[in-house]
A and B are shown apart, each in its own frame.
Chain A
Amino acid sequence: GESVGLHLPTLSVQEGDNSIINCAYSNSASDYFIWYKQESGKGPQFIIDIRSNMDKRQGQRVTVLLNKTVKHLSLQIAATQPGDSAVYFCAEYSKDSSYKLIFGSGTRLLVRP
């Protein structure tokens, strides 16, 4: 299991710096990946997604990179802002787990002013 108990991995960055949040996935058959942002007391919010036939996808201030060789996904946030402070989850989906979006355990991002 991926449990780290109550202590989520935490990334602390200075406001204005770039942030990189990493995620390892286990199912080589996964063909769709999503990054979610969850602020305290709120539900997860969609950030960006990527299909397995892509290596990179860019959004507004965010970039997702997919390395299928090592089953690794990363979320890059440019010019990190205080409002980016949250827990970030990657989620994977595969056709052989129909309709089941499998979430990772999350990374907490703290932005220092």
Chain B
Amino acid sequence: NAGVTQTPKFQVLKTGQSMTLQCAQDMNHEYMSWYRQDPGMGLRLIHYSVGAGITDQGEVPNGYNVSRSTTEDFPLRLLSAAPSQTSVYFCASSYSEIGRGNTEAFFGQGTRLTVV
């Protein structure tokens, strides 16, 4: 049971480059989200999706795009990387809306991104 799989685990980008962080889950979860984790800031929500074809913005969406063409995949795209986007990125999924019933969010292992 793979759970939530993120790739790559590490990435170094130059300022202005673009790239896509991949996230896939095999639990048939409807809800998926992307967070970034910076020292002392906890995790902050970037974008989320409540199902295939539906996405919305979180707390810190600027500079990122997402799409949800399938239930399994939720890629995060950096359009033009900036040093301020240096962070650890986590993808999460859950069966239903967090807060409704006993809903556990499963997190991937994270992608450590450095923008130079």
The interface of chain A, by Cβ under 8 A from chain B, is: 1-8, 31-32, 34, 41-46, 49, 89, 91, 93-95, 98-106
Contacts and interface: CB of A to CB of B under 8 A. Distances in A.
Interface string B40-84: 111111001010000010110000000000000000000000000
Given A43-B90, A44-B90, A93 B40 contact: no
A99 B97 contact: yes
Interface residues of B, number: 29
Nearest to A100: B45
B104 interface: yes
Interface string B7-49: 0000000000000000000000001010100011111110010
B42 A103 contact: yes
A42 B43 CA distance: 13
Interface string B88-103: 0010100001110010
Contacts of B106: 46
Nearest to B110: A43
B109 A42 contact: yes
Interface of B: 4, 31, 33, 35, 39-45, 48, 50, 56, 58-59, 90, 92, 97-99, 102, 104-110
A98 B59 CA distance: 12
B58 A5 contact: no
B81 to A, nearest CB: 22
Nearest to B107: A43
Contact of A101 (B45, B50, B56, B109): B45
30 contacts: A1-B41, A3-B41, A5-B40, A7-B40, A31-B99, A34-B98, A42-B109, A42-B110, A43-B4, A43-B90, A43-B108, A43-B110, A44-B43, A44-B107, A46-B106, A91-B43, A93-B99, A94-B99, A99-B31, A99-B33, A99-B97, A100-B58, A101-B33, A101-B45, A103-B42, A103-B43, A103-B44, A105-B40, A105-B41, A106-B42
